[in-house]
Chain A
């Protein structure tokens, strides 16, 4: 009954190319989506986010696309750099629920940038 799914445990991309990480969700109440990046032996750090009122959010090399009808979002990294090698977590929240709710995470995708 995973509400946030990242179906690719790992992804290998050549340096300089585009990395595309995918995420699907099932809960229609989710209206805010986030991507976190995690290096080994460190906690996850916030990368970027998108509200459900948008379908795209660009932030430098990172762009998030949201397709609400398909309940799908993706993170594009262009161009990919060696420092991008990390585990990427997709997370979701229902803002309309109010209060200090936590995040619902996916299992993560390990991105490996090949030189």
Chain B
């Protein structure tokens, strides 16, 4: 009965080699978010989709892109991973995006960059 699923749970990539992280949801929520959490840091919002509308945070590097081909799936693409991109990546969903709507998080994908 998993609601927000992230694959893979652990991803190892090489410096500069493109990598894609996957998130899927069974909640049929309109909004999907991607957060980056570096070691001992706060989760930081990278971007979100409201339905098909993409909203990028002002300080999210261009190296990070996202795709949402349908309601259920959302992908995080890192075009040229650097050592500083090693982090836990958390996907979350929300029914309408209002602050009062609970955000449901997946277990995260831990990215290692060699």
**Chain A residues in contact with chain B, CB under 8 A?**
2, 4, 9, 31-32, 34, 36, 41-46, 49, 51, 89, 93-95, 99-108
Shortest distance from the beta carbon of A49 to any chain B beta carbon, whole Å = 8
Shortest distance from the beta carbon of A89 to any chain B beta carbon, whole Å = 7
Select which of B50, B100, B102, B108 is within 8 A of A100 by beta carbon: B50
Assembly CA distance A32 to B104 (angstroms): 17
Select which of A42, A46, A89 is within 8 A of B42 by beta carbon: A89
Interface contact A103-B97, CB-CB below 8 Å: no
Confirm or deny: B107 has a beta carbon within 8 angstroms of a beta carbon on chain A: yes
Given A42-B107, A43-B106, A46-B102, residue A102 in contact with residue B33 (CB < 8 A): yes
Contact with A along B27-67 (1 / 0, CB 8 A): 00011010100001111110010100001010000000000
Assembly CA distance A36 to B103 (angstroms): 10
Assembly CA distance A26 to B96 (angstroms): 26
Interface size on B, residues (CB 8 A): 30
A-B pairs under 8 A by CB, number = 70
Assembly CA distance A4 to B92 (angstroms): 19
Interface contact B45-A107, CB-CB below 8 Å: no
Which residues from A are CB-within-8-Å of B92?
43, 102
Shortest distance from the beta carbon of A40 to any chain B beta carbon, whole Å = 10
The 19 sampled A-B contact pairs (Cβ below 8 Å) are A9-B40, A41-B107, A42-B107, A43-B4, A43-B90, A43-B105, A43-B107, A46-B104, A95-B98, A99-B55, A99-B97, A100-B50, A100-B98, A102-B45, A102-B48, A105-B42, A105-B44, A106-B42, A108-B42
